[in-house]
Structure 1
Amino acid sequence: MVNRNLILGQQVGNTGVVVPPYALGAAPLGNLYQAVADDVAEATLRAALGAGLNYIDTAPHYGFGLSESRVGHFLQGLGAETVGAPLVSTKVGRVLEPIAPSERADVRFGFADTPDLKPVFDYSYSGVMRSFEESCRRLGRENIDIVFAHDLGELTHGDQHKVHWQNFCSGGMHAIQALKAEGRIKAFGLGVNEVEVCQRALVELDVDLFLLAGRYTLLEQTPLQTLFPACQRRGVAVVAAGPFNSGILAGTLDYGQIYYNYAPAPDDVVRHARAIKAVCDEYAVPLPAAALQFPLAHPQVVSVLAGFASAEQVNSAKRWVNTDIPQEFWRQLRNTGLIDPSAPTPTE
């Protein structure tokens, strides 16, 4: 997958990590919402590397170790001598515990046909260390390029947020610092869906980058006036994940259940998306193409990360990224108020 402006990717601060412009989110390979066969998962990963998605993001939570195990099996099959081996990130903040037979279900926490394990939040020093070591085992690696603290934030944890934040600041963050000092982690950040917790992290934690899902997309530009300027001042990069906003920007918007932010989309959000789609239709621009290209235009965004469950989806994304989109299209979105007027667009 070739991005005309960022063929070689961008370096994250002084970490030595160079992040390519587009990345594969491996949550679907953990059987997100539906089971994916092992051979389909492997074909997806192979297609991703062939298309230039040379960065794979996973997490223990994705299929309760299944996503990491599949990524690890694939990477080990490439061999250590592989030129241009992919960048890998995973996450800490949950440990996996065995479930009782009574807890078995076809779908648990949004994942189907999973191992008999369950995720338990643990942001302590020992929890982060355990999570990291178990991820290394599943991935078949001694070191991991990027590690994100997963799903910190008040919207996620409610009245437990203060406890989890304190546990991470007083415990888990020290584990991250120790792992970085040992050279086992190159870069660290938060992997979250919330802008506010990123702003707090800029003040209280030593972060290199954020993986921010769903908050900077063609549909929503929440961080523009607050988080992104603060990141620029601190030299902190952003990986814009979830560019399709849980699917609303990837489909036809004409039928079936429409999802936004991991739930059925509110009517006002659907109307907004359909208005963007109307402009897409006017200029013969595929909606997913605009969704994938838009976030990368912001100078703070070093990579756009999307989840794919098949080689066919990866190949579609390759076409969308390389679709020529006229400047007039972006201008109309801005002039009609469908995107923030201060948002950079790919033709600028």
Structure 2
Amino acid sequence: MRARPLPRRPSVRLTALGFGAAQAGNLYRATTDEEFAAAVDTAWAGGLRYFDTAPHYGLGLSERRIGAALRTRPRDEYVVSTKVGRLLVPSPQDAQRRDPEGFDVPADHRRVWDFSRDGVLRSLESSLARTGLDRVDVVYLHDPDDHWEQAAAEAVPALVELRDQGVVGAIGAGMNQSHLLTRFVEETDVDVVMCAGRYTLLEQGALADLLPAAERRGVGVVVAGVYNSGLLSQDRPPADATYNYQQAPPELIDRAHRIADVCQAHGVTLPQAALAFVRSHPAVVSTVVGLRNRAQVTQTLTRADADVPAALWPALRAAGLLAPVAA
């Protein structure tokens, strides 16, 4: 599978398709160790070499599983990214409860926001211990939406220092919005950003700020949430489809159906077009898709390999379903 180097850190190369490991943390429902190991084996056989995780995903479970799945593979052949900003603090008194943030794991730790220098260092040290890996290649600030001042003044300089020392290969931020990511690109020394849900076949808000800024500054963009948390993940979105992790409003479901009509007329499915669309922008270096088991990996590889005709994009623009400057 094709891999692209980060423009500012060419030693860090991300495959066009990345493995999102939130489901390894039992997002929404339990995943067995065997299911996840089979997913990684299938992804590896398909050429995926970029794996993204975070302490937030299952209170550390995702990091532990990623580490176990990759530990015996050649270390220079894959890239792992994790995130900082949420410290995991033991909470044994809550171990009989389930995690309240959507992961099917015991609530034996609680998340504490911390974008201080010390918080960054402690978080990364804990991530290395959980994964058992010798290094993390990319470190993102995780959802610093309400923490711009501390993240920009303390967390980014701490990550810059780690990068300049060779402890990590590249640094950045990951969020579900484009505006603040644009500020990180324009005002700080980041190498890559992960933008979830704001540059998709359904909505292209990042075209107005993040993507042009990233091109100007030579910052790579990793697109996540390519299916808008479910709305674009099936050939035809069901009535109970989700968008931004909630029930999708009827007008967006209708829009997705109209996009699917145009896709069908051009011989492709809605998910195939969703994956192909985001890859077309020159600032996008990789697309991360959440994967749980072997079947999902196989399906995603097949979708990513689909031949999507170039005529689809002007047809969507003509129908008013794609931004005039998109694709």
State the TM-score, normalized to the length of structure 1.
0.89
Structure 1 counterpart of 2:265, which letter? E
* More moved, 13-22 vs 285-294: 13-22
Aligned-partner Cα distance in 2 for 1:38–1:222: 37
Partner of 1:220: 203
Q: Is the 8 A contact 1:57 1:90 kept in 2?
A: yes
Find the residue that maps to 2:179 and give its secondary structure.
helix
Partner of 2:168: 185
Aligned-partner Cα distance in 1 for 2:289–2:106: 22
* More moved, 239-248 vs 320-329: 320-329
Q: Is the 8 A contact 2:91 2:107 kept in 1?
A: no
Aligned-partner Cα distance in 2 for 1:41–1:114: 19
Does residue 330 (structure 1) correspond to residue 313 (structure 2)? The answer is yes
2:45 to 38, 43, 50: 50
1:246 to 229, 236, 239: 229
Does residue 150 (structure 1) correspond to residue 133 (structure 2)? The answer is no
Structure 1 counterpart of 2:129, which letter? R
Find the residue that maps to 1:327 and give its secondary structure.
coil
Cα deviation 1:145-187 (Å, max 9, x = unaligned) = 100000011xxxxxxx2xx222223322232122112211111
- Deviation, 1:103, is 6.5
Aligned-partner Cα distance in 1 for 2:157–2:280: 35
- Deviation, 1:38, is 0.5
Partner of 2:19: 24
Find the residue that maps to 2:198 and give its secondary structure.
coil
Aligned-partner Cα distance in 2 for 1:168–1:104: 33
Structure 2 counterpart of 1:67, which letter? S
1:275 to 245, 253, 258: 258
Find the residue that maps to 2:11 and give its secondary structure.
coil
Q: Is the 8 A contact 1:33 1:107 kept in 2?
A: no
Partner of 2:71: 76
Aligned-partner Cα distance in 1 for 2:151–2:238: 43
Find the residue that maps to 2:156 and give its secondary structure.
helix
Partner of 1:156: none
Find the residue that maps to 1:62 and give its secondary structure.
coil
Q: Is the 8 A contact 2:84 2:115 kept in 1?
A: yes
Aligned-partner Cα distance in 1 for 2:226–2:269: 14
Aligned residue-pair number: 327
CA separation of 1:177/1:328 partners in 2, compared to 1, >3 Å: closer, same or farther?
closer
Q: Which runs of 5+ in 2 are unaligned?
A: none
Aligned-partner Cα distance in 2 for 1:309–1:241: 15
Aligned-partner Cα distance in 1 for 2:318–2:303: 24
Q: Is the 8 A contact 1:12 1:18 kept in 2?
A: no
1:200 to 164, 176, 183: 183
Partner of 1:37: 32
CA separation of 1:109/1:8 partners in 2, compared to 1, >3 Å: closer, same or farther?
closer
Q: Identity rate of aligned residues, in percent?
A: 39
Root-mean-square deviation (CA, aligned residues, Å) is 1.7
State the TM-score, normalized to the length of structure 2.
0.95
Aligned-partner Cα distance in 2 for 1:200–1:127: 22
- Deviation, 1:341, is 1.9
CA separation of 1:316/1:337 partners in 2, compared to 1, >3 Å: closer, same or farther?
same
Structure 2 counterpart of 1:336, which letter? A
Q: How does 1:265-344 map to 2 (within 5 A)?
A: 265-344=248-327
Q: Is the 8 A contact 1:13 1:236 kept in 2?
A: yes
- Deviation, 1:279, is 1.6
Cα deviation 1:285-343 (Å, max 9, x = unaligned) = 12111111110100010111110111101101111111112233222112111111211
Q: Is the 8 A contact 2:223 2:287 kept in 1?
A: yes
Partner of 2:102: 110
CA separation of 1:248/1:254 partners in 2, compared to 1, >3 Å: closer, same or farther?
closer
Cα deviation 1:51-110 (Å, max 9, x = unaligned) = 1111000000000100000000111133xxx27621110000010012243464334201
Aligned-partner Cα distance in 1 for 2:273–2:237: 18
1:62 to 48, 57, 68: 57
Q: Is the 8 A contact 1:66 1:114 kept in 2?
A: no
Q: Which runs of 5+ in 1 are unaligned?
A: 154-160
